[in-house]
Amino acid sequence: MRTAGWTEVCRLDDIPRQGARVVATPKHGQVAIFRTLDDTAFALEDRCPHKGGPLSQGIVHGHAVTCPLHSWVIDLGSGEAAAPDKGCARRIPVRVEDGIVLLASGAQP
Ligand code: FES
């Protein structure tokens, strides 16, 4: 851990662009960390708000992911499903520092 409240997860380069990696966390459960084409990292609970599909196995496009099960589109920044679908995947605070991905390990936001 480099900073209180944040836990190192992996290097950003360990995640393919437009891909994801799943990490098991004691606090947040299975978390999908996404890397977009512009090298932004996002983290969501790896559970689609529709029927629990693994968002980490979806297709990343822009700052969104399409669920592999029934193709809901989930905004990576907000976790919200695109209209007309309704639902929200839980976001986990994430940041990248010196190429290292850090997840919030402290209290829920
Ligand atoms: S479980 Fe994700 S769209 Fe149905």
Q: How far apart are the first and last CA of the chain?
A: 19
**Superfamily, domain 2-104:** Rieske [2Fe-2S] iron-sulphur domain (2.102.10.10)
pLDDT tens digits for range 86-109: 999 999 999 999 999 999 986 444
pLDDT tens digits for range 17-64: 999 999 999 888 999 999 999 999 999 999 999 999 999 999 999 999
Strand, helix or coil for residue 109: coil
Bin 108: left if φ > 0, else alpha if -120 < ψ < 50, else beta.
beta
Query: Which of 47, 48, 55 for a ligand 1 pocket mutation test, highest count of atoms within 8 Å of Cβ?
Result: 48
Ligand 1 centroid, distance to 46 Cα (angstroms): 11
CA distance 82 to 23: 25
How do the domains of the chain map onto residue ranges? 2-104
Nearest CA to ligand 1 atom 3: 70
